[in-house]
A and B are shown apart, each in its own frame.
Chain A
Amino acid sequence: MALNSLLPLWVLATSLVVAFVIFAIPEDRIKLRSFLNLSAAVIKLLLVMIMTWGVFQGVFYETRFEVAPGLVFSLKADPLSIVFAGLSSVLWLLTTIYAIGYLEESPNRSRFFGFFSFCVASTLGIALAGNLFTFLLFYEMLTLSAYPLVVHRGTQAALKAGRIYLIYTLSGGALLMLGVVMMYLHFGDMPFVSEGHFQQVSASEYPMLRLIFILLIAGLAVKAALVPLHGWLPSAMVAPAPVSALLHAVAVVKAGVFGIVRVVYDIFGIEFSFALGVLVPLGWLAAATILYGSIRALYQTDLKRRLAFSTVSQVSYITLGIALFGPLGTIGAIVHLVHQGIMKITLFFCAGNYAETLGIHRIDELNGVSKRMPWTSIAFTLGALGMIGLPPLAGFISKWYLGLGALEAQMYWAVGVLVMSTLLNAAYFLPILHRIWFRAPQAAWCNTPSLKRLECSWLLLAPPVVTAVLILLLGVFASWPMSPFSWAVFMANKEYGL
């Protein structure tokens, strides 16, 4: 029993302890640091796998203690935490490998990997948080630990991006905190439970609950990059590639969306949120963000910036799925949480490889790059096609269920938004693919003989190839047990009491 109550804490401790150890060891102990990083990532992954199996068997994991009278710190594993924790621990391992390769020979690696581990600990804390208070705790920890990563390069541009990032996220955090405080004051401790807390609440409480809902969502929307609170995300692109990858796929942006999922499903409850009349406005906001992000992406000439606006758009699919009142929309939202993460991290790994190996930053420099870097280009293509939603890739599964959800909820405008967005996705991804595969290569690097057998260091190549394969597998074998899709179905059934 003691083991079960401590397992969530262990999952967190693996990266937290490593963070402190990494700060303490000298800058030039590269091998030791890489070993510590990788072994912590592997151990964490194993622990999460054990926990996944346990939750599947119905084991209850919770670490809890009282912080102050009435305030409980709680880490627990429910199906939704497993989805997010699983995603983070898999992608952390891959990103660690990638970052070790990417940052070779660069300064301040000790600081980088220290905060990198803090960041992952915070993300896992968000995933496993058992109540609103604990969630808030790790949510703000994430804000702080991601800052040194965003400004890592230490240039004026990076510091400016860091400032913008802080202004947005700290202000959002303050709103979120106010919302959480009001919630605790009026309704007491708020553990996350499926179907929420408010089935029996009287109508006189509705205005207060609406206010709290708005505060919570406004606070979370900053990280989730919902329009008009998305401004920090494109500017944070100055960060090194592994940071962008992590930020867009699992850490900061996802933390915001995950929070929205928690608030709607496990605090208010989907049926009560619907009764409160807050779901439809949320849906409109998500729809506006989806279209806005896609349109802005069309006009970007910088590869990473285009991907950033694509994230603004794609992440809001999840929020849209939440706002669609019905189990199919829920399935779409949860499964997209995982699929978007894997697809987006692939794209950022590839963009980093292009930049690192060939110095390519702008889209018009990509002509014929497939001849020089075929593996990276294949991975990028799978990621991009997945984003568009081409069957049988992972992105298709999530879009299909979001569409079905919209039909089920009779929100036909949402179907229109999805179709529009798919067309826009194609419009900003296909030209890139065209350049990569069909344009004539640029002379400069085409003729440079590759000294190594591989197109770039295997540390940089392996992670995107693995995630690209996952994109394919998650699409083809979606219905297998323990797949993200099956977990999403499992959760949706619970939420709607089916």
Chain B
Amino acid sequence: MLYVLWLPLMFQAALVVLIGRQLLAKGSFEWALFDAVGIPGLSIRLDGLAFLFILLSSLMAILAGFQISNFFAKQSSIQKRIWWRFWIVLLGLSLVWTAGDLITLYIAMELVAFGVVGLIALGDQAESYRSALRYLKAVLLGTLSFLIGILLIYGIYGTVSLEALQQNIESTVLTGLAFALMTVGLVYRAALFPLHSWLPPAHGSSHAPLSALLSALVTKASFYTLARLWLDWGDLIGSHLLAQLLGVLGALAILWGGWMACRQSELKMLVAYSSVNQVGYFFLLFPLIIGVSNEVALLAKQGVMLQVVSHALAKAALFMAAGNLVAALGSKYIADLSGISRSMPLSLLSFGLAGVSIMGLPPSGGFLAKWYLLQASLLSGQWWWIPVLIIGGLLSATYIFRIFSRSFLEEANTKSIKIIPKVLEIAPMILALLAVGLGLFANAPLALMMIGLEVTNGVE
């Protein structure tokens, strides 16, 4: 048995249950290793939103871990080298979700980056090394900007505790600069247009189950951090202009990513560009929480949270299903997909169900997300996001249906399609069904998200 997978998973599950009970019983709470105020230290803040992401990454750890353990041959060298990188990424992610101060946050993000570079480099072609290096460069630049921002904040306020900063932070030029630097750094790491070009090769060239993990969780880490900072401080120091700018870049990402996905000839590159497209929706959060009524802000938060979670589930399903299709075909090109619906119906169905969420069609988490974002745009009078949301949906439909159109084509050729183990078709189906199911059962995750959120948003 693969003890390097199952032992940590069991430990993780126990921890999740423990803190989950604590959260539900007592509400959000904080915990610090060094208790003295002002000293940079390891501290944890756990509220509903953080817990939701812990649940998400635990789920992903189980399913991606399961997929990885079956995808690679049992005695292959990858099986030996992969697990410590896998767990470093997940440890880093758990810290990102729960960091209570900027230094912890910084360390957590570096841990994630460290693990991810290792994972990308596992791909066996020279291309993977190039992608890994390119990724490393993007991450280092982004993190540098983020770190300068942190140092500035520490210089001004003498603390890095998010709790303390929320009480003390003021709108000054220097704080604004620090905030802008942190935002830019995180935007780079989140692969927002036009700083996205490192993402598609990194996700497209690594092994499918790893791409699933990367696109489902790692892109979310930087956005999550950015969103939390803006939710904490945005009302005080976030400028309307910067918020609108982030929204506009998000809109451009939706259009550009969608357009590029429509033009890819490789299946996994299409899925990777779809991430650029989907990440764009996240950034509509900023214009819709700054300088608007509480009602709009709530709708925007619910919409973006649903978008993030459903994208994580759906995109992981897409990558895993795409990996199965590519493995069965022995070709990475979309043009070779014809007739695959006969031999791999289950993987194709998973791809389709996940696609429903990506397109934002009901019933799916992606649909509810779009529903809330449309409402927020209408209610705030920022009508210009509406055509973006609609055209973005149609673009997504165009690239998803490219795959189906191809695979339904009946050609008189005799292709040899490899039989792949059925066990590889389980995880993508579960993920796709969850992405769809989120559209019918969103009450619980939304309620969970609200625990402690009003407080951290500065609304008493």
Q: Which chain A residues have a beta carbon within 8 Å of chain B's beta carbons? A: 23-24, 27, 66-69, 71, 73, 107-108, 110-111, 136-137, 140-141, 143-144, 147-148, 151-156, 159, 162-163, 166, 170-171, 173-174, 177-178, 181-182, 184-185
User: When the two chains form the complex, which single residue of A27, A153, A170 contacts B410, counting CB atoms closer than 8 Å?
Assistant: A153
* Complex contacts, B356 vs chain A, CB 8 Å: 144
Q: State whether A67 touches B393 (Cβ < 8 A).
A: no
Q: State whether B342 touches A108 (Cβ < 8 A).
A: yes
B58 at the interface (CB under 8 A from A): no
Q: State whether B341 touches A111 (Cβ < 8 A).
A: yes
Q: State whether A151 touches B349 (Cβ < 8 A).
A: no
Q: State whether A171 touches B394 (Cβ < 8 A).
A: yes
* Complex contacts, A73 vs chain B, CB 8 Å: 440
Q: State whether A182 touches B378 (Cβ < 8 A).
A: yes
CA of A144 to CA of B364, assembled, Å: 13
Q: State whether B375 touches A144 (Cβ < 8 A).
A: no
Give the residue name and chain of the B residue nearest to A139 (CB). B362
CA of A185 to CA of B390, assembled, Å: 17
Q: Mark B389-419, 1 if CB is under 8 A from A, else 0.
A: 0100110010001001100111000000000
B363 at the interface (CB under 8 A from A): yes
CA of A266 to CA of B371, assembled, Å: 22
B172 at the interface (CB under 8 A from A): no
CA of A166 to CA of B446, assembled, Å: 32
* Complex contacts, A67 vs chain B, CB 8 Å: 368, 439-443
Known contacts A67-B442, A184-B375: A154-B363 contact under CB 8 Å: no
* Complex contacts, A178 vs chain B, CB 8 Å: 374, 386, 390
Q: Which of A66, A147, A163, A177 has the most CB of B within 10 A?
A: A177
Q: State whether A154 touches B390 (Cβ < 8 A).
A: no
CA of A170 to CA of B362, assembled, Å: 12
- A sample of 8 cross-chain residue pairs with beta-carbon separation below 8 angstroms, ordered by A number, consists of A73-B440, A111-B341, A111-B342, A140-B362, A141-B362, A151-B405, A162-B408, A178-B374
Q: State whether B363 touches A108 (Cβ < 8 A).
A: no
B245 shortest CB reach to chain A, Å: 26
Known contacts A174-B390, A174-B394: A144-B361 contact under CB 8 Å: yes
Q: Which of A66, A151, A181 has the most CB of B within 10 A?
A: A181
Q: State whether A69 touches B446 (Cβ < 8 A).
A: yes
9 nearest A-B pairs in the assembled complex, by CB-CB distance? A154-B410, A68-B442, A137-B362, A181-B374, A174-B390, A140-B361, A140-B362, A151-B408, A185-B375
B379 at the interface (CB under 8 A from A): yes
CA of A338 to CA of B407, assembled, Å: 36
User: Given contacts A144-B361, A154-B410, could you give 6 more A-B pairs where the C-beta distance is less than 8 Å?
Assistant: A69-B443, A141-B363, A162-B408, A163-B401, A166-B397, A170-B394
B343 shortest CB reach to chain A, Å: 10
* Complex contacts, B441 vs chain A, CB 8 Å: 67
B180 at the interface (CB under 8 A from A): no
Q: State whether B378 touches A108 (Cβ < 8 A).
A: no
A278 shortest CB reach to chain B, Å: 21
Q: State whether A110 touches B446 (Cβ < 8 A).
A: no
Q: State whether A159 touches B408 (Cβ < 8 A).
A: yes
Chain B positions 149-201 with a Cβ under 8 Å from a chain A Cβ: none
* Complex contacts, B363 vs chain A, CB 8 Å: 137, 141
Q: State whether B405 touches A163 (Cβ < 8 A).
A: yes
Known contacts A66-B443, A163-B405, A178-B390: A155-B378 contact under CB 8 Å: no
B405 shortest CB reach to chain A, Å: 5
Known contacts A108-B342, A185-B378, A185-B379: A173-B405 contact under CB 8 Å: no
CA of A325 to CA of B251, assembled, Å: 45
User: When the two chains form the complex, which single residue of B341, B393, B405, B443 contacts A68, counting CB atoms closer than 8 Å?
Assistant: B443
Q: Which of A155, A162, A173, A182 has the most CB of B within 10 A?
A: A173
Q: State whether B390 touches A159 (Cβ < 8 A).
A: no
Known contacts A68-B446, A153-B410, A174-B394: A107-B342 contact under CB 8 Å: yes
Give the residue name and chain of the A residue nearest to B401 (CB). A166
Q: Mark B341-384, 1 if CB is under 8 A from A, else 0.
A: 11001100100100010000111000110110011001100000
Summarize A's interface: helix, strand, loop or mixed: helix
CA of A266 to CA of B15, assembled, Å: 51
CA of A155 to CA of B370, assembled, Å: 34
* Complex contacts, B346 vs chain A, CB 8 Å: 23-24
A298 shortest CB reach to chain B, Å: 33
User: When the two chains form the complex, which single residue of B345, B368, B439 contacts A111, counting CB atoms closer than 8 Å?
Assistant: B345
B206 at the interface (CB under 8 A from A): no
* Complex contacts, A185 vs chain B, CB 8 Å: 375, 378-379
A123 shortest CB reach to chain B, Å: 15
CA of A159 to CA of B338, assembled, Å: 12
CA of A155 to CA of B410, assembled, Å: 6
* Complex contacts, A147 vs chain B, CB 8 Å: 401, 404
B104 at the interface (CB under 8 A from A): no
B219 at the interface (CB under 8 A from A): no
Q: State whether B371 touches A181 (Cβ < 8 A).
A: yes
Q: State whether B408 touches A154 (Cβ < 8 A).
A: yes
Give the residue name and chain of the A residue nearest to B439 (CB). A67
CA of A289 to CA of B274, assembled, Å: 39
B363 shortest CB reach to chain A, Å: 5
User: When the two chains form the complex, which single residue of B302, B393, B408 contacts A174, counting CB atoms closer than 8 Å?
Assistant: B393
* Complex contacts, A24 vs chain B, CB 8 Å: 346
CA of A308 to CA of B142, assembled, Å: 58
* Complex contacts, A162 vs chain B, CB 8 Å: 405, 408
* Complex contacts, B408 vs chain A, CB 8 Å: 148, 151-152, 154, 159, 162
Q: State whether A68 touches B368 (Cβ < 8 A).
A: yes
CA of A111 to CA of B352, assembled, Å: 13
CA of A151 to CA of B367, assembled, Å: 25
Q: Which of B371, B375, B441 has the most CB of A within 10 A?
A: B371
Q: Mark B437-460, 1 if CB is under 8 A from A, else 0.
A: 001111100100000000000000
* Complex contacts, A181 vs chain B, CB 8 Å: 371, 374-375, 378
CA of A68 to CA of B349, assembled, Å: 26
Chain B positions 420-446 with a Cβ under 8 Å from a chain A Cβ: 439-443, 446
Give the residue name and chain of the B residue nearest to A153 (CB). B410
Q: State whether B302 touches A68 (Cβ < 8 A).
A: yes
Q: Which of A108, A144, A166, A184 has the most CB of B within 10 A?
A: A144
Give the residue name and chain of the A residue nearest to B406 (CB). A159
* Complex contacts, B386 vs chain A, CB 8 Å: 178
CA of A73 to CA of B401, assembled, Å: 28
Give the residue name and chain of the A residue nearest to B374 (CB). A181
CA of A123 to CA of B70, assembled, Å: 39
* Complex contacts, B349 vs chain A, CB 8 Å: 23
A205 shortest CB reach to chain B, Å: 15
Q: State whether B345 touches A23 (Cβ < 8 A).
A: yes
Q: State whether B405 touches A159 (Cβ < 8 A).
A: yes
CA of A148 to CA of B410, assembled, Å: 13
Give the residue name and chain of the A residue nearest to B442 (CB). A68
Give the residue name and chain of the B residue nearest to A110 (CB). B345
B288 shortest CB reach to chain A, Å: 14
Give the residue name and chain of the B residue nearest to A152 (CB). B408
Give the residue name and chain of the A residue nearest to B371 (CB). A181
Give the residue name and chain of the A residue nearest to B361 (CB). A140
Q: State whether A177 touches B410 (Cβ < 8 A).
A: no
Give the residue name and chain of the A residue nearest to B372 (CB). A68
* Complex contacts, A111 vs chain B, CB 8 Å: 341-342, 345
CA of A107 to CA of B409, assembled, Å: 12
B320 shortest CB reach to chain A, Å: 18
* Complex contacts, A173 vs chain B, CB 8 Å: 361
* Complex contacts, B397 vs chain A, CB 8 Å: 166, 170
Give the residue name and chain of the B residue nearest to A180 (CB). B371
* Complex contacts, A171 vs chain B, CB 8 Å: 394
Give the residue name and chain of the B residue nearest to A138 (CB). B362
Known contacts A23-B349, A148-B408, A181-B375: A108-B393 contact under CB 8 Å: no
CA of A354 to CA of B404, assembled, Å: 31
CA of A152 to CA of B341, assembled, Å: 11
CA of A122 to CA of B390, assembled, Å: 23
CA of A140 to CA of B409, assembled, Å: 24
A345 shortest CB reach to chain B, Å: 25
CA of A155 to CA of B349, assembled, Å: 21
Give the residue name and chain of the A residue nearest to B375 (CB). A185
B413 shortest CB reach to chain A, Å: 13
